[in-house]
Amino acid sequence: MSILKKREKTSEEVELEWKTYNNEFAKQIQIEIIDNNNNDTVESVLPIVEDSVSIAWSMLTYTITNKKTKQQQNIIQNCSGVVKPGEIMAIMGPSGAGKSTLLDVLAGRKDPKNVTGTIYLNGRSGQNVKFVSTYVMQDDALMGSLTVRENIQFAADLCFPETVSPDERRQKVAEIIKEFGLERVADQKVGNIIIRGISGGEKRRTVIASQVVTLPRIIFLDEPTTGLDSAAAYNVMKAIITTAKSHHLTVIASIHQPSSEVFALFDKLYLISRGQTVYHGSRKGALEYFKNLGHECPEHANPADFYLSRINIDFMSDRETGEQHIQKFITNYESSSAKRLVEKDVSDVVAAAEKEDVDDISVDVPQGYNRYARGFFVQTYFITRRTFTNAYRNVLLYWIRVAMYVCLALLMGTVWWQVGFEQKNVQDRFAAHFFSVAFLVFMSVAGIPGFLEERVVFRRERADGFYSVGPYALANFVVSVPFVFVIAFTFTAVAYPMIGLHAGMGHFMWFLTYLYLALMVAESMVVFVAAVIPIFVAALTIVAFLNGFFMVVQGFFVRRDSIPHAWKWAHYIDYQKYAFEGIVKSDFIGLTFDCVLNPTTQKYDCLYGDTSGDSKKFTGQDVLNSYGYTEIKLALWAFALVALTIIFRVGFYVALRLRKSRT
């Protein structure tokens, strides 16, 4: 059995450990697996790898309080079982039976306050199962613009300890790709809504491969075959089982109506109905068990379908009879030899641990199983690199917006073409300033789908301990810096000279700076909102509302001094105001405009500056004074935009932290 020693491993030992993994068949010994229902002994050859982990649980109950009735309700009740290294167990039951709940409780993903009973790892209670396990969710959360190999390599780079060299990591990735039958598609992009990628089954295998590349000792899978056809489902399960058997991993999967081929891949079965155990033992033994209860599986029937049909009372017309029927199964199991065998197995595992003086797993966490295998900066580096590659390759994220902004710049340039210096052009200029800021920031909503796609991957990877929130939030910001600059620069380079805004490098640079900083705030606001409410339509509506709101109070439609007192606060936190006013000032300052000569009076109708009729011209400063833009400080306004970016980015980080994934 697995023996975990108390002291920390040296780096040489860790290296040796990996070599040992490569050569694990040298450690094969014969072990006995008791087929616990037939009570006959099946001999099987399984490799014993040091640090393999068995999981046993006794009298597990998960209770919730019904919010309406305030009544306590047991979702699972008095469940006991054991799965040893190299064994693959299926949790099966009708819909709502408690499969996912049992899996989540075993994987340590439920609030311990609601759980009673004991879970033992290698016979010891009080261990942190997350240190030695991975939990594979149902969704195929992968980066679609990355290849299969790149997706798995990312996991390897973050989850192996630094003692594993880059070459070894690459080799581990190549090995898992081979084991999971992904060699043919290894260098193909996974695919997303615009890239046609690999098949559904290959995607599922890629997700699982990326989660097991470090060979976590226990693998929990939540319905790993859902949504796949029977051939793909078989390939997925076969890949998991091959890896589990050859590396002596412990596997528990909840599964919905497996085909007979898939079902035959499991060693053990946990049948659950109404949260209670109907059968637990070997898969083969279940046939005999049900036969003894008077439910013989027909020769050519799929046993999985047969068991489920026996314990599913959802479609029984008489509810009471149905309940009695299930209760009978539960009572039978309670007094069965199958249950006694499970209890003996659990106590044997515990007794062996006491005898062997097995130490606390969480004290001696084998390297590579740590919650975070790599430090903050290494995490940030790898996430930044991947996010950059995704942003570069994923047309939806930035390139589509760059194309759109170029079109818009050309449109504005031709409509406002060489706007001029007559009195009437003052309003044209204001409109150009307003529209440049408003439209560009408004279209930041285009980043929501890309972010939400990435967020699903973040949820999975975070839950699995690839990295923490800080590096992810930082990487998201770092990558947005150059891409947003490309957008702002492209637009400015095309639109600014075409419109004929204030000539000169200094003025051009101020325009670019404000547009860039406004876009950085808008981008930060988008990811913040999408992190708080990760639903596409809702996030889109809220961002559109916020941008509309900021437009209204920014002082363009209604002069700043006319904004009602009650809305002044909004004006001062409005990022569009700072960008708009900065652009207005940098454009108007230093310009001179012509007043209109009134042919009747032969006087000049000047709306700005000297309005007595004697002055032919007025200045940009006169315009600014006239609209009350006297306090604009270019550097300070730019700083306000930087501060708002920081505020939204901190909000983004906090939102991600608070919105805990199912951990």
Ligand X SMILES: Nc1ncnc2c1ncn2[C@@H]1O[C@H](COP(=O)(O)OP(=O)(O)OP(=O)(O)O)[C@@H](O)[C@H]1O
Residues β-bridged to residue 133: 218
Task: State the nearest-atom distance from the C-beta of 365 to ligand X, in Å.
Answer: 29
Task: State the nearest-atom distance from the C-beta of 101 to ligand X, in Å.
Answer: 3
Task: State the nearest-atom distance from the C-beta of 230 to ligand X, in Å.
Answer: 18
Task: State the nearest-atom distance from the C-beta of 64 to ligand X, in Å.
Answer: 5
Task: State the nearest-atom distance from the C-beta of 260 to ligand X, in Å.
Answer: 20
Spell 63-75 as b/e; 16+ CB within 10 A means b: eeeeeeeeeeebb
Nearer Cβ to ligand X (98/465): 98
- Report yes or no: 53 and 102 within 8 Å, Cβ to Cβ: no
Nearer Cβ to ligand X (111/561): 111
* Chain-centroid distance, C-alpha 435: 35
Residues β-bridged to residue 367: none
Nearer Cβ to ligand X (43/314): 314
Q: Which of residues 91-120 bind ligand X (CB under 6 A)?
A: 93, 95-101
DSSP secondary structure, 103-152, as one string: HHHHTT-S-GGGEEEEEEETTEES--GGGGEEEE-SS----TTSBHHHHH
Asked if 74 touches ligand X (CB under 6 A), the answer is: no
Radius of gyration of the chain (CA): 33
Task: State the nearest-atom distance from the C-beta of 655 to ligand X, in Å.
Answer: 23
What lies within 8 Å, CB to CB, of 23 at 6+ separation is: none
Nearer Cβ to ligand X (256/603): 256
Q: Name the DSSP class of 57.
A: E
**Tokens linked to 218:** 């226990």
Task: Print the binding letters for residues 322-341 with ligand X: x by CB under 6 A, - otherwise.
Answer: --------------------
d(C-alpha 174, C-alpha 213), whole Å: 10
Nearer Cβ to ligand X (28/95): 95
Nearer Cβ to ligand X (308/443): 308
**Tokens linked to 599:** 């042919």
Task: Print the binding letters for residues 38-67 with ligand X: x by CB under 6 A, - otherwise.
Answer: --------------------------x---
Task: State the nearest-atom distance from the C-beta of 304 to ligand X, in Å.
Answer: 14
Nearer Cβ to ligand X (93/144): 93
Nearer Cβ to ligand X (276/384): 276
What lies within 8 Å, CB to CB, of 161 at 6+ separation is: 14, 367, 368, 370, 373, 374
Q: Which of residues 295-324 bind ligand X (CB under 6 A)?
A: none
Nearer Cβ to ligand X (95/327): 95
Among 14, 60, 75, 269, binds ligand X (CB under 6 A): 75
β-strand pairing of 115-121 with 55-65: antiparallel
d(C-alpha 204, C-alpha 182), whole Å: 11
**Tokens linked to 35:** 């087929």
With CB under 6 A, what is the number of residues at the site for ligand X?
Answer: 11
H or E segment and range at residue 65: strand 55-65
Q: Which residues bind ligand X (CB under 6 A)?
A: 64, 75, 93, 95-101, 256
